[in-house]
Amino acid sequence: MSSLIGNAQQNNESKVNDLTVNQQSSLPVLAASKLSKTFNEGKNSVTVLHGLDLSVQAGEFVSIIGSSGSGKSTLLHLLGGLDLPTSGEVRVHGELLSAMNETKRGDVRNKSLGFVYQFHHLLGEFDAVENVAMPLLFRRDVHVDEARSQAIELLKKVGLGHRLDHKPGELSGGERQRVALARALVTRPSVVLADEPTGNLDRKTATDILALLGDLRRDLGMALLVVTHDESLAGAADRIMHMQDGRWLS
Ligand SMILES: Nc1ncnc2c1ncn2[C@@H]1O[C@H](COP(=O)(O)OP(=O)(O)OP(=O)(O)O)[C@@H](O)[C@H]1O
């Protein structure tokens, strides 16, 4: 197995060891408590999430399914620190996101969380290696050569070793999503948050991408939280949570 994966496993092992020492081995990597979100627009306010609890353990694969408009993306934004809740809290490795300033929150996002979206959000003027290396280059402590070599290693792992210097416009939809997966994983996050990662792909490509995501999760030892409205895609998870109108269905 690659050194990249070895490092990720080592990191995870040392985290586990730390937790054992602290006797907190059940501490979730990601936890939400009584999470609510209300959007105010002029005189109108709409409450989209109603006091949600959620806990994701290290290495766990959780799917959230729900119909359009049920609040899945809003929840993912809050869990990823991209937006703040109206009330309630989100903790990453036990650390409260809302207590952090924007710089620290950005740091947690970069180091502990990976993001995959329905639309890949790759930068068109950069090739696959540059796109994947980018999250590492935001860190001042990673040299550009090291970032490139880690990007190449991950691109090979997602089956794109022959497309390293291709720009997004020169790749198929499935290949672009593979690049996006590699980019989300290059920082070796402990949790990947994926919002309809296969929503823009045909069924065969979607199934391949989901299988790849599952394999990468096992290899890299990360937790995976996938939001989808596709029950058959959600079925691969350890646990499926159903959302309706901003509440969990029991
Ligand atoms: N910034 C906002 N301002 C006002 N309302 C919003 C905002 N963002 C989301 N909403 C509303 O919140 C509700 C939930 O939206 P959200 O995108 O979280 O749903 P979803 O379950 O992800 O839907 P889909 O499956 O269609 O992507 C929707 O009714 C939406 O209109």
Select from 74, 198, 247 the residue to mutate for testing ligand 1; criterion: most ligand atoms less than 8 Å from CB: 74
Any domain includes 95: yes
| CA 1 to mean position of chain CA atoms | 23
Which ipTM score applies to this complex?
0.96
pLDDT in the model for residue 156: 93
Q: What is the mean pLDDT of residues 100-115?
A: 91
Instruction: Give the atom of ligand 1 at the shortest distance from the alpha carbon of 70.
Output: 21
Report whether residue 47 contacts ligand 1, using a CB cutoff of 6 Å: no
pLDDT at 198 over 50: yes
- pLDDT value at residue 12: 45
Q: Is residue 59 part of a domain?
A: yes
CA separation for the pair 247, 230 (Å, rounded): 18
- Ligand 1, residue 75: give the atom nearest the CA: 18
Domain that holds residue 36: 28-248
- Position 12 in a domain: no
* Residues 46-91: tens digit of each pLDDT: 999 999 999 999 999 999 999 889 999 999 999 999 999 999 999 9
More confident residue, 53 or 41: 53
Q: Cα dist. 215→68, 209, 222 in Å?
A: 28, 10, 11
Residue 60 lies in a domain: yes
Ligand 1 centroid from CA 17, angstroms: 40
Q: Would you give the DSSP letter of residue 71?
A: S
171: domain CATH number is 3.40.50.300
pLDDT of residue 2: 41
In tens, the pLDDT along 8-19 reads 444 444 444 444
Return d(Cα 78, Cα 166) in angstroms, integer: 33
Residue 25: predicted pLDDT: 55
Whole-prediction pTM: 0.84
Provide the percentage of residues in the chain whose pLDDT is more than 90. Answer: 60
Q: Is 2 a member of any domain?
A: no
* Residue 61 near residue 223 (C-beta atoms within 8 A): yes
Residue closest by Cα to atom 7 of ligand 1: 39
The partner residues of 113 in beta bridges, in order of sequence, read 191
Report the pLDDT value the prediction gives residue 43, as an integer from 0 to 100: 83
Check if 138 has its Cβ closer than 6 Å to any atom of ligand 1: no
Residue 60 C-alpha to ligand 1 middle, in angstroms?
A: 26
The contacts of residue 34 (CB under 8 Å, 6+ apart) are: 51, 52, 53, 87, 88, 89
Of 67 and 29, the structure prediction assigns the larger pLDDT to 29
Q: What amino acid occupies position 207?
A: T
Using an 8 Å Cβ cutoff, are 158 and 183 in contact?
no
Q: Classify burial at 211, counting beta carbons within 10 Å of its beta carbon; exposed 0-12, middle 13-18, buried 19 or more.
A: exposed
- Token pair in block for residue 22: 């602290």
Q: Note whether residue 8 is domain-resident.
A: no
More confident residue, 27 or 148: 148
Instruction: Using the predicted structure, report yes or no on whether residue 167 has a pLDDT greater than 60.
Output: yes
Q: Is the CB of 39 under 6 A from ligand 1?
A: yes
In this structure, of 60-69, 203-212, 221-230, the range with the lowest mean pLDDT score is 203-212
Q: How many angstroms is it from 69 CA to the middle of ligand 1?
A: 5
| Number of structural domains found in the chain | 1
Per the DSSP assignment, residues forming a β-bridge with 194 are 116, 226
- Residue 48 alpha carbon to ligand 1 centre in Å: 7
* Structure tokens that stand for 160 in this block: 């794109």
Q: Is 6 in the pocket of ligand 1 (CB under 6 A)?
A: no
